[in-house]
Amino acid sequence: MTASTANAQRFREFKMPDVGEGLTEAEILKWYVQPGDTVTDGQVVCEVETAKAAVELPIPYTGVVHELRFGEGVTVDVGTAIIAVDTDPGAGPAEAPAAAPQEAAADEEAEPQGRQAVLVGYGAAPSSTKRRARKPQPGVPAQPEPAKAALQAELNGRAAPAAPATPVAPAVQPAPAAPAGSAVPAAGRPLAKPPVRKLAKDLGIDLATILPTGPDGIITREDVHAAATPAAAPAEAPAPVAVAAAEPGTIDTAARERRVPVKGVRKATAQAMVASAFTAPHVTEFITVDVTRTMKLVQELKQDPDMAGLRVNPLLLVAKAFLVALKRHPEANAAWDEANQEIVYKDYVNLGIAAATPRGLIVPNIKDAGAKTLPQLASELGDLVATAREGKTSPAAMAGGTVTITNVGVFGVDTGTPILNPGESAILAFGAVKLQPWVHKGKVKARQVTTLALSFDHRLVDGELGSKLLADVAAVLERPKRLITWG
C-alpha cells in the first residue's frame, strides 16, 4: 500500500450530498464543529440550506476534524468535499490529501472530458461542432494583443489602456484610427452564443461594434460587459475644478439601496412561481360567506376533551371543509403530465399549507390528509407549522402535494389571487374574518364574514367544476354540520 493510498484511507472527505429531489447546490449556514474536534459516525456537523429547506448533515465517519473546506455562507455544488476527517489520529502525523484547487476545477469545467455526471442521469454530450476561424479581411493587418485592447477601448468610447513601461521608438507613427463603424470586419453576422446575444440586447450594445476576444472570433460575456462599461477619463486628464450640480429633482439613491443574492428558498420560490404562472392557465374565483357558525364551533372544539392539547383555529375547519369538498369533487384533485400528455387523477389528498418563514415561503403538506380525523388533522397541522417556523422542514415534507391552502387572513388581508404550487391543481386562499352587516333570517345583523378565493389549473378543472368546489367549501363553513352530513 502506497503512502498516498494510506493517507486517502485515513483522511476521509465528506461531500455535499443531494438532500432533496435533484438539487444541485446548497449553502452552508452553520458549522457545528471546528478543526481538532472529535466527531462520531452519525453526528451532525453542519446545517445547510437547499433550494427547499434547511437541513442538518450528519457525518458518516468517526475521528478528528482535520479541515473545513468551506466557510459559512458559501454555496457549494453537490458532490464537492466540504470537510476532511482524520479517522486514525493516533497513527501520528500525516499529510492529508489537498483539496482540488479552484483553478483546476475551472479548467475541467471549461474543457469537459466526455459527458458530465449530474444528479439524475448525465448532462448533454459535448458538441462536436467547431466554428471556423474568421479569415482576415484584405487590407486589414492582424492586430497584436495590445492593439486589440486599444481598439476595443476606442470602440467603447474609452481611452486606450496605458502601454507597458518599455522603450518605444519615437519615430514610429501610429496607424490612423479607423472609424467606429468599420473597426470590426463586417463580413457576416458577429459570432456569439444566444445568452451573450440576449445580454447585449438587454444592455443596448450592438454586437457589430465589439471586438471579439473568444476562440474562433466568438464574442464573450466579458466582451459585452467591457463594451457596456462607461467611458473612463484619461489618466493624464486634470481633475475638474468644479463638480456639475445634479439636475433639479434628481436624487441619488444608490447609497440607500441593498443588494442581496437570490439563493436558497427565495430562489426556489421565484423559479416555482414563474414556472407555474407561465405554464398552468390560472383561473381564480371568489366567494364571500358568513362563517359565524364556524367561528362558534371553533370555540366549542377548544373545550372538547378530544381536542385537548391540540391547536384549534379557523384554519383547521377551513382545511376540513376543503377536504370534504374535494371528496365530493374528486376530479379536481389531479395533475397534468405534460411529458405523457395524461391527466393523473389522485385518490389521495396531500394538503399543502403555505407557511411564511424567516427564510421565505415554503409549502409543506400533510400526507393523506383526507383520511385523517379532525384531531389527527389538528395534530399534524400544528406540527407542520411549528417545524416550518423553526426552519426544520425537510424536503420530503414539501414533496408530493396535490392542493394547497394559503391563510392570508392572518395578515388582515381580505383575499388574493394565489398562484398554484407547481404540479398541483388548486389553491384556496382564506381571507380575514371580519364583522360585517349581513342579511340573516331576513334581518341585517353583524355577522362574521370572510372571502375565499380558489385558483385552479384550467387544463384540469373547468369553470363548472371549480365553481362547485368553491361553493361547497363555502357551504360547509356557513353550516359546519355539513362536515357530518357530507363527510
Active-site residue set? 458
Amino acid (one-letter) located at 160: A
Contact of 381 with 307, CB cutoff 8 Å: no
C-alpha cell at 24: 444541485
Amino acid (one-letter) located at 285: E
- 103 Cβ contact partners less than 8 Å away, ≥ 6 residues apart: none
Q: Which residues pair with 81 in a beta bridge?
A: 15
Q: Which residues of 350-361 are buried (b: 16+ CB within 10 A; e: fewer)?
A: bbbbbbebebeb
Amino acid (one-letter) located at 231: A
Query: What is the SS3 assignment for 300?
Result: helix
DSSP 84-97: EEES-GGG---PPP
DSSP 86-136: ES-GGG---PPPPPPPHHHHHHHHHS--SPPB-SSSB-PPPP---PPPPPP
C-alpha cell at 355: 407557511
- 452 Cβ contact partners less than 8 Å away, ≥ 6 residues apart: 286, 287, 288, 289, 415, 428, 429, 430, 431, 470, 473, 474, 477
d(CA 314, CA 433): 9
d(CA 66, CA 49): 23
Measured at the alpha carbon of residue 73, what is the angle toward residues 72 and 75, in degrees to the nearest 5?
A: 110
d(CA 103, CA 236): 36
d(CA 161, CA 246): 30
The DSSP letter of residue 165 is S
d(CA 270, CA 471): 31
Q: Which residues pair with 342 in a beta bridge?
A: 337
DSSP 327-348: HH-GGGSEEEETTTTEEEE-SS
Query: What is the SS3 assignment for 444?
Result: strand
C-alpha cell at 398: 414539501
Helical packing angle, 314-328 and 292-302, nearest 10°: 120
Q: How many CA atoms lie within 13 A of 425 on its CB side?
A: 25
d(CA 313, CA 22): 36
